[in-house]
Amino acid sequence: MTVLEGGGIDYVGAREGRRLAVTTTLSFMPGRHLDISVVGEIEDFDLADRRLFTADLYDVRVDWYFNTHLFIDTVGQEQYVRNDVALYPAGTPRRARNLATQWQIGYQVNPWTVFYAGSSEGFQQGPENALLPSQRTYYLKASYYFQP
């Protein structure tokens, strides 16, 4: 668990304030093929004597290793923010919720070369707090270390 407290900057209004962030991390490997990581963070940001926002952030990752070369990664990230709209510019929502998901399969040829194929999706809060799709991406990626 990590607790951060101190000065911070509101990037929307370029104002200084006080930030308190509490982060909890849990990682475990219930078997030799499965790796699970969960991170939760609650952040409060205050201006003078008023709360500007409270944010709840969650990150869940599950990795499955078939062998030393082939693996699958899945990621889910959620952000839920509650704003004091009186302290923000007009049009700022009172509540905002976003969700991002990603999965990828990877093949490690050697310690320096990995190939990936995957997909990521994003969702944003819509009417009546429903999460609506906002973006989707498919990708192929190669990663290598070039040593001259």
Number of domains in the chain: 1
pLDDT digits (tens, 9 = 90+) for 62-115: 999 999 999 999 999 999 999 998 888 888 888 999 999 999 999 999 989 999
Q: Which domain holds residue 89?
A: 2-144
Sign of CA dihedral 28, 31, 32, 33: negative
The whole-model pTM stands at: 0.82
Residue 87: phi, psi to the nearest 5? -100, 0
pLDDT digits (tens, 9 = 90+) for 8-67: 888 887 888 999 999 999 999 999 999 999 999 999 999 988 999 999 999 999 999 999
Output the CA torsion 129→98→134→139 (10° steps). -150
